[in-house]
Amino acid sequence: MLPVLTADALRTAEQAHWDEHPGDDLMGRAAAEVARHATEMLGDGPRPVVLVAAGPGSNAGDALHAMALLPPQLGAVVRIWPVRGRTHREGLDAALAAGAQVIGFEEAAELLARTDLLVDGIAGLGSRPLDGEAARLARAAHAQRVRVLSVDLPSGLRADAADAPEDAFRAERTVTFIAPKLCHVAAPAALLCGDVRRATLDVDPGETTTHQAAASDLPAWYPMPQASSQKYTRGLIGLETGSARYPGAAVLGAAGALFTGTGMVRHPGEAGAAVVSRFPSVVAAGGRVQAWTCGSGWDVEDPAARAAHLDRLAELIGEGRPMVLDAGALDLIAEVPPLPEGCLLTPHAGELARLLGREREDVEADPLGAAREAAARTGASVLLKGTVQAAADPDGRVVLAVRGPAWTAQAGSGDVLAGSAGALLAAGLPASRAGVLAASLQAVAATRSPGPIPPDRLATTFPEVIASWEDELVRTGDRSPDEQAPRGVRPS
């Protein structure tokens, strides 16, 4: 997993590095990385035109020193627009000595039509929404499809926020330093960062409570079956989902559980017949289970149905098994006994806002903070669904799931996700790990099969993703080929 730092944590890491290595030239190494990526993006074109939008701080210093490091044979024509009328002095001197020239805003705006690469060095950790001429240049660059290389983060974004102001730069590539920040990994801000390249600069990021799951983490997290596995050891998941009004939610949850690879699914509720008609392997009766998924498709608006769901939720809590609480169950938490250990809540922003007694806009402005607050209040792990998908533990640790395409933003995706997470919970995964893995599985599947695929159809592609994870474990030596398929007895 990648550490994700706040702006303050990154400044602390930098200061700790300088305390241990006085005088170390971090800006020189950062500039070298910017120059390398700029050279790579420019390719072999004759005398490319590079426009640098330079702010007043060290972010501009990285960009300007990088211009002095471009290969002479590139023959780049470099023009610098100091956004505030001033910029990093040493960086500017280095760029001018290498042949760059300073221009004003009007000339910079006219130059966009001939610009091969715009290096955005306006603001870094202290970035805030742009205004004035900087905002005009960002809008014009986007309208004219100018290729943008952002230094640390696209100017106009905030390092510690996931929102994407309209006037922020839209980068084709972003070179960030030491560790990514929230804007690099959480949509919609991350969508403006383009291809994010991390340059560690040999600086220890230090301890952090926030991490980003990587696709390479997922194979080792998945509970692969062993030679001795049978249905009772692979996980028995019980579903208390769906209702007479919303039977489809139960079917979708069963699809999520089955195609995630659970050993057995039980559905003793009123939607059990609908589930069995679609998936005959599901047992429409009570019995032994190792975890529950409940709440998806519950009709909590009807008073009689709400009362029945409330009684059933209290009964399940009394069993003391791990649970995934989704949709309708989230609206009943305040009316039931404390949750058993190892539970996972799966709200979207609106549901999380109701749970916390806040406005949806507050949750969307600080999604990780809201998830942390809910986890601390309830004692359960909380997987926030939506453009930002992240699981928070009661101790404050947060892991962001692998990002997927916006195609999964459709009715029923959450029902599939709840069933998938429940299957992983029944297999023995900790609650937050089950949530992050289920969300990441859905994201990877949607990335491999893009387009308007209904959630139940997308779930049928989960086995292909899981099989690829198993192949990867075999390739890296972390799983024996014999565990994939026994070789049998062969002649000597």
Binding-site entries: 249, 297, 348, 414-415
pTM listed for this prediction: 0.90
Binding-site entries for AMP: 414
> C-alpha angle 26/30/35, rounded to 5°?
145
Helices (H), 320-412: 349-356, 360-365, 367-378
Spell out the CATH class of 2-208.
alpha beta
For 52, the 3-state DSSP assignment is strand
Whole-number CA gyration radius for the chain: 26
At residue 312, the pLDDT reads 95
Write down the CATH number for the domain with range 216-475. 3.40.1190.20
CA distances from residue 207 to 189, 202, 380, 400 in whole angstroms, order as listed: 24, 15, 23, 16
Strand ranges inside 41-159, DSSP E = 49-54, 77-82, 101-102, 117-121, 148-151
Q: Are 251 and 274 spatial neighbours (Cβ–Cβ below 8 Å)?
A: yes
At residue 485, the pLDDT reads 64
| Extents of the domains making up the chain | 2-208, 216-475
Print pLDDT tens along the chain (492 aa). 999 999 999 999 999 999 999 988 999 999 999 999 999 999 988 899 999 999 999 999 999 999 999 999 999 999 999 998 899 999 999 999 999 999 999 999 999 999 999 999 998 887 788 999 999 999 999 999 999 999 999 999 999 998 899 999 999 999 999 999 999 998 889 999 999 999 999 999 999 999 999 999 999 999 999 888 888 889 999 999 999 999 999 999 999 999 999 999 999 988 999 999 999 999 999 999 999 999 999 999 999 999 999 999 999 999 999 999 999 999 999 999 999 999 999 999 999 999 999 999 999 888 999 999 999 999 999 999 998 899 999 999 999 999 999 899 999 999 999 999 999 999 999 999 999 999 999 999 999 998 999 999 999 999 999 999 999 999 999 888 777 666 566 665
Element (H, E) at 434: helix 431-448
Binding-site entries for (6S)-NADPHX: 249, 297, 348, 415
One fold for both 2-208 and 216-475?
no
